[in-house]
């Protein structure tokens, strides 16, 4: 299936609260565990022509605003794991981000009062254009292959503090724009350093402010960048309902003048989402019903990279 940038937003927001809410009142797990989620959504808006969608293979100009589009998004998420209760260790394998093209191996380790560690190794791919800047002709797709690791340290020394490091190795199968313009080569690495703090008013009312810094080093300097992201999340539990509201702002500046547009690329991103989970519908233990509405906007100094996307989703989850 062709993917768009906002899909990551949909899936990350869609999956995480499902697991938290569904297991909220369950006893400590032992031996094998797992979860699965099936659902779908609708994405609509004006994505950047940089993104691969069902109807933007041909663009008529680099300075034109993208046409309005809509696309159905199926969601399939599955995970199977094993818990060693005596050591506080959990090992799992699945497509945790919800993308069927991403496989992740995760290890969670409780350190009692010291905190909790999580290590995730993942591998996946995404559809991109071989040359995104071709005009008046059909653009061909290729694969962006990503291998990454993530290290999270949470509840540090019994507090709400949390730290994270994420690293990714990125490879483009057939990077034709990188051949045409060496400063636009897309192979490279990306590092993200994050910190946050969980402020719990009570077990059902939590605020999590966080900040992240991103260093993206590509073989092409015009595609290399540095940036930051500010995020505020509010989790509210009311009976069987859980509401997760997320607000985020990001800013990115690239290292060198873009050879196609003769300007140094700068972007600001805005995201707002609300996710609602209802656990044990009709008394069905382990099940949950989940709904999402999310909006993302990218404001860029180069019109080609601007985007507006609204996502609405609905899914059913089951944990055992």
Query: pLDDT (tens digit, 9 = 90+) per residue, 58-70?
Result: 999 998 777 888 9
pLDDT (average), residues 241-245: 98
Fold of 6-319: Porin (2.40.160)
User: What tokens does 86 get?
Assistant: 């005596």
What 63-66 contacts at long range (C-beta under 8 Å, 24+ apart), as own/partner pairs, is 63/303, 63/304, 64/303, 65/303, 65/306, 66/306, 66/307
**Does the pLDDT value for residue 6 go beyond 60?**
no
Round to whole Å and give the CA distance between 142 and 126. 8
pLDDT (average), residues 60-86: 88
pLDDT (average), residues 171-192: 97
User: What tokens does 293 get?
Assistant: 């509405």
Domain map of the chain by residue range?
Answer: 6-319
Mean pLDDT score of the chain: 90
- Characterize 94-103 residue by residue with b for buried, 16 or more Cβ atoms within 10 angstroms of its Cβ, and e for exposed: bbbbbbebbe
Q: Name the one residue in this structure whose structure tokens are 């009311």.
A: 238
Decide if 258 contacts 268 (C-beta within 8 A).
Answer: no
Round to whole Å and give the CA distance between 28 and 15. 21
């Amino acid at each position: 299936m062709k993917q768009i940038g906002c899909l990551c937003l949909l899936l990350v927001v869609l999956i995480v609260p499902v697991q938290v809410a569904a297991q909220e009142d369950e006893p400590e797990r032992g031996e094998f565990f797992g979860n699965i989620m099936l659902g779908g959504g609708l994405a609509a808006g004006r994505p950047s022509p940089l993104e691969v969608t069902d109807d933007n293979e041909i663009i008529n100009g680099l300075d034109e605003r993208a046409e309005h589009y809509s696309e159905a998004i199926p969601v399939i998420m599955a995970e199977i794991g094993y818990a060693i209760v005596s050591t506080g260790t959990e090992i799992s394998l699945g497509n945790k981000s919800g993308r069927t093209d991403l496989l992740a191996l995760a290890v969670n380790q409780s350190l009692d009062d010291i905190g909790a560690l999580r290590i995730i190794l993942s591998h996946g791919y995404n559809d991109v254009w071989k040359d995104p800047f071709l005009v008046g002709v059909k653009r061909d797709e290729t694969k962006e292959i990503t291998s990454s690791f993530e290290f999270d340290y949470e509840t540090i020394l019994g507090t709400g503090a949390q730290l994270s490091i994420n690293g990714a190795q990125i490879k483009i199968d057939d990077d034709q724009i990188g051949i045409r313009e060496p400063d636009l080569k897309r192979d490279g690495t990306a590092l993200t350093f994050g910190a946050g703090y969980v402020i719990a008013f009570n077990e059902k009312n939590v605020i999590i402010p966080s900040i992240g810094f991103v260093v993206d080093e590509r073989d092409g300097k015009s595609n290399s960048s540095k940036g930051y992201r500010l995020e505020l999340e509010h989790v509210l539990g009311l009976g069987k309902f859980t509401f997760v509201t997320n607000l985020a702002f990001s800013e990115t500046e690239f290292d060198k003048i873009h050879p196609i547009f003769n300007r140094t690329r700068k972007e600001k991103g805005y995201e707002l989402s609300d996710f609602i989970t209802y656990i044990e519908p009709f008394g069905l233990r382990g099940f949950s019903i989940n709904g999402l509405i999310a909006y993302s906007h990218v404001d860029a100094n180069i019109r080609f990279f601007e985007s507006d996307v609204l996502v609405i989703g609905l899914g059913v989850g089951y944990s055992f």
